[in-house]
Structures are given as structure tokens and as C-alpha cells.
Amino acid sequence: MAEQHPSNQTTHFGFQQIPIEEKASRVGAVFDSVANRYDLMNDLMSCGIHRLWKRFTVEIAGVRSGERVLDVAGGTGDLAVAFAERVGTQGTVVVTDINAAMLTVGRDRLTDRGHVNNISYVQGDAQHLPFPDNHFHCITIAFGLRNVTHLDWALASMFRVLRPGGRLLILEFSKPAEFLRSAYDLYSFKILPMLGNLVVNDPDSYRYLAESIRMHPDQDTLKGMMGTAGFSRCEYFNLTGGITALHRGYKL
């Protein structure tokens, strides 16, 4: 079991240091605010490239018919739809998210599109996943890990519920190549909050997004954390010059 942190410790919320017990509620408020226009903002922020990143994730996952897939911090269900098509009627995809607003938007969206047979929804904390040991063939988490208070707890929890031979895929913003950083910083800290203000009337949530990316471990650090959690054959693929990275590891 993960070591408990003293209640007087602090953690980062973007660039702010806050009491560790406040982070979950602060992050929850961000996603409550943006849930209804989350997909629109993703398309605007990335010029649609996030769809290519997710498609690559699905291909690398190698999911087969009949398998059980868990999409952690599954949000509005982009990955879930793709995986549901791969696992077929004999398989199942479980979408879990700690945020009720995001989970509701995703469930309603997928239900409206007819995805009702092999996708289920469970509100849950990535740090304490409410599933049996050794259960899922594949686990994914896309753009959610950096919002977790204790990354090591989340990695340990995902390792626990993954079957031996199963794989974890983490799609997350990361550290871009040197030649991109000046332009990326300008976009992140100037343009992104402006988009947030125009589209969802909430520049602060997208300012937090930019800051949270900078506080997230870089590619090699996250790879090492996966190894510490027990994952084997860990590797990563830099996408769009390292703006995003896809990490993969196996439970042997």
C-alpha cells in the first residue's frame, strides 16, 4: 500500500503550492467548469492533432476482440469509442473518471451515438481504482495523469488492476524539443488562456492547464516512475516534437 503523506504537506496546483488535501477539489472545479465544451477546446487548442495522438495510442495498444480495457480519466470518451470497436461484443470498455461532470458528458455523448452495448462508466479515483486485482488486459490514461495528486499511487493502482501480460499506455503532454520551446511557451501562456476566455469564459482553467504541463515529469522521469511501480519494458514515443509523449509499459 502506498505511503500516506502527512496532512500538512503541500503539492503543486499549476505553479501554486497548496495544501495537499486541496488539490483534488481544485482540479475538480477546473473540469466542472470546462466539461460541456471540453471536446471543442481540445480541437481548438491542438488544431485537431489530439485526434491523431489518440489514434496512435489505439494502434500501439494492440487491443483484441474479447479483451477488457480500462480508460482512466476517460473524460468524454474519445478513446473508449475506438476501443469498444476493437474489443467487440465479447469485450468490454470501462470508462472511469473522478469528475462526475466529465463522466456524465461522456456517457451522454456516447449513448446518443449508440455506444451502449460494451461501454460502462464508473466514477472513481485513479489513485484508488475500484476494480479487482489482475482484471484488465489494457489500461489507458490520456491527458489525466498530470492532474492526479500522487502520481506514484495512481501508477501502483493501475499496476494492481492490470492482468499479467497486460499493458499500460499513458498519453500526456510532455517536454518538447528545444527548438519548439519558445513558441510553445508563447502559445501556452498567452494564446491558450485567451481561447479559454473566448470559448468557455474561463481563462484561469486553461492557465492552470499550461502550468500543470510544466510541472508534470518529463519523458525519462515518467518512464522511471513506471519502472518503480513495477512495469517492465517501459518506453515512450515522442509525438509532435515531444509536445506530447505516449508511454507504454507491461505487467509481466
Domains by residue range for the chain, with CATH: 17-24+53-178+219-250 (3.40.50.150)
Which residues, in sequence order, are CB contacts of 183 under 8 Å at separation 6+? none
pLDDT in tens, the chain (252 residues): 444 444 458 998 888 888 998 888 888 777 777 776 677 677 777 888 999 999 999 999 999 999 999 999 997 788 999 999 999 999 999 999 998 888 988 898 888 887 778 999 999 999 999 999 999 999 999 999 999 999 999 999 999 999 999 999 999 999 999 999 999 999 999 998 888 888 778 788 888 888 999 999 999 999 999 999 999 999 999 999 999 999 999 999
User: ∠65-66-69 over CA atoms, to 5°?
Assistant: 95
Which residues, in sequence order, are CB contacts of 180 under 8 Å at separation 6+? 241, 242, 243
Q: H helices of the chain, where? A: 23-34, 38-46, 49-61, 78-87, 100-112, 151-161, 181-186, 192-200, 203-215, 219-228
The four Cα atoms 96, 99, 104, 109 give a dihedral, to 10 degrees, of -70
pTM above 0.75, yes or no: yes
Are residues 29 and 100 in contact, defined by beta-carbon separation less than 8 angstroms? no
Are residues 200 and 41 in contact, defined by beta-carbon separation less than 8 angstroms? yes
Q: Could you tell me the sign of the dihedral formed by the alpha carbons of 226, 245, 106, 150, in that order?
A: positive
